[in-house]
Every structure is written in C-alpha cells, then in structure tokens.
Amino acid sequence: MSTETDLPDGVVVVGIDQPLVRNAVNTETAARLHDAFVAFDADASARVAVLTGDDAAFCAGANLRDLPKLRDSGPLGPTRLQLSKPVIAAIEGWCVAGGVELAAWCDLRVAGSSARFGCLERRWGVPLIDGGTYRLPQIVGVGRALDLILTGREIGSEEAERMGFLTRVVPDGEALAAAVTLAGQIASFPWRAVVNDRRSVYAGLGRELADALALEDELGKDTIFADGFAAGVDRFNDHQAGRRP
C-alpha cells in the first residue's frame, strides 16, 4: 500500500505489481492484496483507495501457472471483502478474466482509452469465482453481463463506458492520475455522509423498497445528527448567499 506524500489527503494506492505476467495474481499476490485492503479499511486516516496495475495491464486474472489457493477472501485476494470505504480501479491495458472481476469489486473504474476488457477465461473453461456473476449484472445489467460472460468476447473502453462498466475514460497513461484526483475529491467531502450513502446503496440492493427506504432513513439520520453536519449546512447557505445578485 502506497502512502506517498504527493497523494491527496486520505488517499492510498495499492499496486498489483506483477508486471512480467500482465499483473496476473498468484497466491502470494492475492494474500498481499487482501492484507493491504484489510489495513486500508482499518486505517482511520485512509478514506479512498486506488487499485492499479501498470501501463500494460491492470490485471489478467489468476496466474494459471501458479493458481491462487481458494480462500474465504476470494482467489484474487480481496474480492469477498466488504469494505466500509470506497475503492477506485485505475485501468490501463489489459483488464481481462479475473481482472474484470477485480475491477467490478471496486466502486468506480477509470480507464485509459486503449484498455481492453473481457471474460476471456470462458475460452479455457475457467469459471468466474471472484464475484463477477454477482457484480457484473448489478453494474451493467443482466443482458450485457451475460453477453460478456457467455461469449468471452473482448471489448474496448468506449463500449465498456457505454454499457456502464467504466466511470471515466481518459487518455492512455492518465488513468492512475485521474483516479487519484477523483479519490482526492471524494476524500475531501464530509466523510460521514460519504460512507453512509455508500453503505445505503449496497445494503439496499435486493431489498424490498420499504426496507431499503427505512435503511436510507436510518443512515440519513445518523449523518444528520453527526458532528459537523450543521457546519456543512452553514457552508451551503453561505455558498448560496454568495451566488445571489
């Protein structure tokens, strides 16, 4: 986990760091990624994490010559963790097979314009077992998710953005910088509101409407009664007053 001084306050960068194999994940890498995100979630000073590969590849999935051992936290490391804070994927180059699942585990995804995506494991009889069959339909819809999962076809950033998988597409080589900037913006907001609204979104998935609204109300009240909410309202009022003619 990176905590360089040039990062915005509250932002950390986690690198997959296996460039010789297009950032394919083996057992050692999976354990390192898992531990890095557990540490991130426990660190009160860390607010948003950015997960990245390198300019050639975000992640090519599992290293089939050194398969990660199956573990409760997910074969690729963190994919069965349910964090309390946001993670952004910074994607360049190849994001395929389990790399798609790892990116889908993140809250937001920023990619270079030449990045490539696909459930290429379909061609080799390898299943999706890092949450892809659950998360992809929620992100892009059932029909598009099945198109990717069943055909194993490869797509580019333009189509991935159009179907809703990507949050931002930027020029090649700028995904990490753009993701760090986005992370810094999120980290700068009043924090109770950020984490409670994020929690409300995920916890509400699959619930009946009345239950989801009750949870939203509960978490909203927690935010409203938290320290700092009144100061935020004052800032908003001052901002609006400044815009009046």
The answer to whether 167 and 133 have CB atoms below 8 angstroms apart is: no
Q: What are phi and psi of 162, to 5 degrees?
A: -65, -40
User: Of the residues 28, 92, 121, 174, which is catalytic?
Assistant: 121
Cα–Cα distance measured from residue 81 to residue 99, given in angstroms and rounded to the nearest whole number: 16
The answer to whether 59 and 14 have CB atoms below 8 angstroms apart is: no
DSSP 121: G
Strands in 16-142 per DSSP E? 48-52, 57-59, 87-91, 94-96, 108-112, 116-118
In terms of Cβ atoms closer than 10 Å to its own Cβ (0-12, 13-18, 19+), residue 174 is middle
Tell me if residue 89 falls in helix, strand or coil. strand
Cα–Cα distance measured from residue 119 to residue 155, given in angstroms and rounded to the nearest whole number: 10
Active site residue 216: no
Active site residue 208: no
Cα–Cα distance measured from residue 25 to residue 49, given in angstroms and rounded to the nearest whole number: 19
User: Of the residues 4, 28, 92, 101, which is catalytic?
Assistant: 101
| Complete edge-to-edge strand list for the sheet that includes strand 168-170 | 11-15, 48-52, 87-91, 108-112, 168-170
The residues that are catalytic are 101, 121
